[in-house]
Amino acid sequence: MAAAAVVPRPPPSLPTRAFPSSSTSSSSRRYPLRLRSVPRPLVCAAASSSVWMPDPDLEPEPAHDDEPAPESRSRRIALFVEPSPFAYVSGYKNRFQNFIKYLREMGDEVIVVTTHEGVPQEFHGAKLIGSWSFPCPWYQKVPLSLALSPRIIGEVARFKPDIIHASSPGIMVFGALIIAKLLCVPLVMSYHTHVPIYIPRYTFSWLVKPMWLIIKFLHRAADLTLVTSVAIGRDLQAARVTAANKIRLWNKGVDSESFHPRFRNKEMRSRLTNGEPQKPLILYVGRLGVEKSLDFLKRVMDRLPGSRIAFIGDGPFRAELEQMFSGMPAVFTGTLQGEELSQAYASGDVFVMPSESETLGFVVLEAMSSGVPVVGARAGGIP
């Protein structure tokens, strides 16, 4: 596995091109993307500060600072998110919770359709609609839902959305697609999990080709596909998932107030090192799944006998990992949230991300924001 120390830098320039928006123009921050088929600007990349175009020959005209400000009325946005960003702990959860929060702060009306487990009635003023769900056959902790009941169709129709944004891949994205077509509403899909890479690790390799066909069917029906990294955008473009001019980068960012070096904490460091805070501490934060290549870290620890390692998170591979690291200076904390998570990040000496299948890797950004150097695989959305 090739590894690289990760430092903040812009995405690679080939074969992309950037159109930075003004740092002082509120209209350009709010409306960075446009669809020719939509009478007003597209919403779903509203937090971006620049837009990276996968194919400069096919790009639509970008917004310019000298254009008149668009109409100021609030937009009506229906989000279809699977699994729930309120029950499923991941960087994906943070992205959508912050997205909803920022949309509401800008005055937009938002409803969220998601899997029903642990869903509150509202979040920052956005109405939440829970849909009956069932566990993913090969990943039981991930709930899936079609979200196509008469109740949900009626709720979305009464809401009269200007645009529908659905997370992909999954099952719920099919429901979002059907509802968008029924209501004649523009549809944006954001691609978060590179399922074709995961399939051979969890089920049969022959399912990879059918999965690509499903992804192509879905995204060719969407008005726009958002990707979380340039690398994943290239993968989708190489697979001809959809037209190159319908793929855009949804720029990344983390809350630098919540993830900051000031959260470094002696008690947390002692907990993560099992009472030996003077020893070098390696951190991993994230899902404990076989696709994360966490077994590679055993070889790392074999070559660093004086170090300690802490795994923060949970997942189906945890029992095997605990057995694999039995007798080694390893700590498994389970899931941490809030200030405990901030303290854990800031209390480490180095953060590791061995996964080669990340579409983005929010934990990498959170570690850097916490002042911790990162060593990660030179693959996927990590570099």
How does residue 20 score in pLDDT terms, banded at 50, 70 and 90? very low
- Give the rounded percent of residues in the chain with a pLDDT score beyond 90: 56
CATH architecture of 261-377: 3-Layer(aba) Sandwich (3.40)
- Residue 85 confidence (pLDDT): 86
Neighbour-count burial for 138-148, b at 16+ CB within 10 Å, e otherwise: ebeebbbbbbb
Residue 7 has pLDDT above 60, yes or no: no
pLDDT of 105 higher than 90: yes
| The CATH number of the domain covering residues in 3-249 | 3.40.50.2000
Higher pLDDT, 143 or 330: 330
For residue 78, what are the β-bridge partners?
111, 164
DSSP 8-state symbol, 313 = B
d(CA 74, CA 274): 51
pLDDT of the residue at 135: 84
Q: Please tell me the predicted confidence (pLDDT) of residue 71.
A: 56
pLDDT at 8: 39
Query: At 252, is the pLDDT very low, low, confident or very high (cuts 50, 70, 90)?
Result: confident
pLDDT class of 90 with cuts at 50, 70, 90: low
| Cα–Cα distances in angstroms (integers) from residue 101 to residues 32, 63, 118, in the given order | 18, 24, 18
Asked if the model's pLDDT at residue 19 lies above 80, the reply is no
For 116-139, how does the pLDDT look when each residue is reduced to its tens digit (9 = 90+)?
A: 877 888 999 999 999 998 887 777
Please give the pLDDT value at position 209. Answer: 93
Residue type at position 181: K
For residue 83, the model assigns a pLDDT of 85
- DSSP per-residue string spanning 20-59: EPPSS-HHHHH--B--TTSSS-B-TTTT-SEEEES-TTTP
Extract the tokens encoding 210: 């059918």
Q: Is the pLDDT of residue 69 over 60?
A: no
Task: Pick the closest to residue 54 from 238, 240, 247, 252 (CA basis).
Answer: 247
Q: 330 to each of 298, 309, 310, 367, how far by Cα in Å?
A: 10, 5, 6, 19
Note the pLDDT of residue 70: 52
Q: Where are the domains of the chain?
A: 3-249, 261-377
Using 50, 70 and 90 to split pLDDT, how confident is the model at 3? low
pLDDT band at 201, cuts 50/70/90? confident
**pLDDT-based confidence at 273, cuts 50/70/90?**
very high
Rounded CA-CA distance 164/113 in Å is 11
The pLDDT, as a whole number, for residue 89 is 66
Please give the pLDDT value at position 251: 84
Give the three-class secondary structure for 80. Answer: strand
The 3-state DSSP class for residue 344 equals helix
Q: Looking at residue 359, what is its pLDDT? A: 67
Whether the per-residue pLDDT at 303 is higher than 70: the answer is: yes
Q: Is the predicted pLDDT of residue 61 greater than 50, yes or no?
A: no
In whole angstroms, how far apart are CA 112 and each of 54, 156, 261, 308? 29, 9, 34, 41
| Common-topology check for domains 3-249 and 261-377 | yes
Mean pLDDT score of the chain: 81
Helices (DSSP H) in 111-207: which residue ranges?
Answer: 150-159, 172-183, 195-202
| DSSP helix/strand/coil, 349 | coil
How many alpha carbons lie under 13 Å from residue 92 in its C-beta half-sphere? 25
